Each structure stands twice: as structure tokens, then as C-alpha cells.
A = this chain, B = another copy of it.
Amino acid sequence: VDLTGKVAFQGERGAYSEEASLQFFGLKVDLKPCKTLPEVFRCVEKDEASSGVVPVENSIEGSVNQTYDLLLDTSLKVCGEIDLRIVHCLIANQETNIKGVKRVYSHPQALAQCRGFLDQYGFELIPFYDTAGSVRFVKENRLLDAAAVAGSRAAEIYGMKVLARGIEDVPDNFTRFFVLSKHEAQATGNDKTSIIFSAKHVPGVLHSALEEFAVRGINLTKIESRPTRVKVWEYNFYLDFEGHQNEEKCREALKGLRMKTSFIKVLGSYPKSK
């Protein structure tokens, strides 16, 4: 992974995707915000950025399905993963203190995740399309009796004040991102590999496919099926397993899988997130 080049991410400045990018690439990286997920892919494909960061399992921003649809078509490789702990903050203008807050703006899911805290104060909750965007909105409209729920990065970016930190009800809230680039990641001895494969919709087909991993003692870390709406009775499976595609037993498992399925694409091998 090129740690010095430009990194494209989807969302507003201050979005959780930006926090994820900083966590992986360090604070000095040159970031390029993109409006949409397809734009992130395009930027990296056209060398306008050397890497891209996209959400894959996400309860607030972005769409897992859209990311996987784009991964199906791209020539880019998954070369890293990021697990970002989501820490919601209550953010307001510098002049505002918590007693002066009447209304709170944020993405409906972020508001829902902070329900316990927000209900204590009896704030009016106002849904907004985006977490970081709601901070910008409160700032740009100089709303002194309002606050927004977003990550602390959004407060930094927009010069706003954090009134309360870690206000989510369930503290164990993580979002997972993929790092994309034109280059494969080298094996580190502690890697994962992500693949997509298709199989006919007949009993036992998945059981038979997974045998290739079970008999070789390869651990699966994620599996998901999605109907391919284009071909009725055919399914796409999204599978992550431990190991690098260049390791002997992984290569053998992928070879075995190829014989049993109609389509297979290796998205990439990458070091496990810490």
C-alpha cells in the first residue's frame, strides 16, 4: 500500500470514512473527498488518487451492497481493511453550551444509536442525510440553540465544539472499510482474503463449496449470500477467509472452489486490521 499518495474517500469532510482513512494512513495523508462511491473507484482507476477507502459493513454511511456491486466490476484490488470504532459526539457552535441546545440534527441511525443520551435532555431530534453534513449545517446557519451528532473529526474540520463525547448507547459500534489500490498487498503471515463467487441455487451447493476450506483448516470470517437479480436461481456469495491467496492451502482451496462454481473473483488479500 502506498502510504504517501492521495487517498479518496466517500462523504463530506469530517465523515467517519475520513476518520477511517486517517486511522489507516496516518494524519499527514492527502485526502480527497468524493460525493459517491463510484467516484472513489473512478479516482483510483484513473490515478487521481493512489488509494481509496470504502465502507463494507456499515450501520450509518454508505451502502455495503453498492460497494460489493462496484467491487464486482473494478480492476482494483482490496489491499487493506480498517475497523473503525464509531464514537458519536454532540457537536455545537463555540458559543453554545449543552443547556442551550433545543434541537439535535444527524443521520436517523446516528440519532437512534444515541437515543438514551439524547432522551435524557428532551432534545427535539431532526433527521439529516449525513452526520458530518449536519455539523456543517449547524455551523453555516449559525444555529446557536442546536447541535449535531457526528464523529469528533467533524468538529475539528469545521472548528466546532464537542459538548459530549461517546454518547452512543451501545459502545461496541464498529464500521469496516476496505482499502483499494491498483496493487496487491504482500503476504504478512497474518492476512485475510476476500472473494465473490456464484453458484446455482440447488441444495448442498454451498456446503460443497465450503468443504474446500473446511478440509484445509481455513477459517472463514464472513459469509453472505445475495440473489443475483439478473439470473434467477443464481446466488452471489461474499466470502472472507484467513490467509493470503499466495499461501499453498489457500491456493488449493481456491482451485477446488473454481471447479465447483460458475464464477469466482478474488477481490484481494490484505493484512488483518488490528
Q: Which positions in A face B, CB cutoff 8 Å?
A: 36, 59, 63, 65-66, 107-109, 112, 127-130, 133, 172, 174, 201-204, 206-208, 210-211, 213-215, 217-225, 229-230, 237
Contacts and interface: CB of A to CB of B under 8 A. Distances in A.
A207 B217 CA distance: 11
A129 B126 CA distance: 9
Contacts of A109: 63, 66
Given A59-B63, A213-B207, A219-B203, A130 B133 contact: no
A172 B226 CA distance: 13
Contact of A210 (B66, B127, B207): B207
A56 to B, nearest CB: 13
Contact of A129 (B108, B214, B222): B108
A262 to B, nearest CB: 17
Given A224-B223, A224-B225, A133 B129 contact: no
Across the A-B interface, give the 5 residue pairs with the lowest CB-CB distance, nearest first.
Answer: A127-B129, A204-B214, A207-B214, A172-B229, A207-B210
Nearest to A134: B129
A214 B209 CA distance: 12
Contacts of A211: 207
B219 A208 contact: no
Contact of A222 (B107, B214, B215, B225): B225
Nearest to A129: B127
B108 A172 contact: no
Nearest to A109: B63
A203 B213 contact: yes
Contact of A36 (B112, B207, B210): B112
B112 A129 contact: no
A215 B229 CA distance: 27
Given A206-B220, A224-B224, 11 more contacts: A59-B65, A59-B66, A66-B109, A129-B129, A201-B221, A206-B210, A206-B223, A207-B214, A210-B210, A220-B225, A224-B225
Contacts of A65: 59
Nearest to A218: B203
- Chain B CB within 10 Å — which of A133, A224, A230 has the most? A224
A116 to B, nearest CB: 12
Nearest to A230: B172
B204 A207 contact: no
A222 B133 CA distance: 35
A198 to B, nearest CB: 14
21 contacts: A59-B65, A59-B66, A108-B129, A127-B129, A129-B129, A172-B229, A172-B230, A174-B229, A203-B213, A203-B214, A203-B217, A204-B213, A204-B214, A207-B207, A207-B210, A207-B211, A207-B213, A208-B214, A220-B225, A221-B225, A223-B223
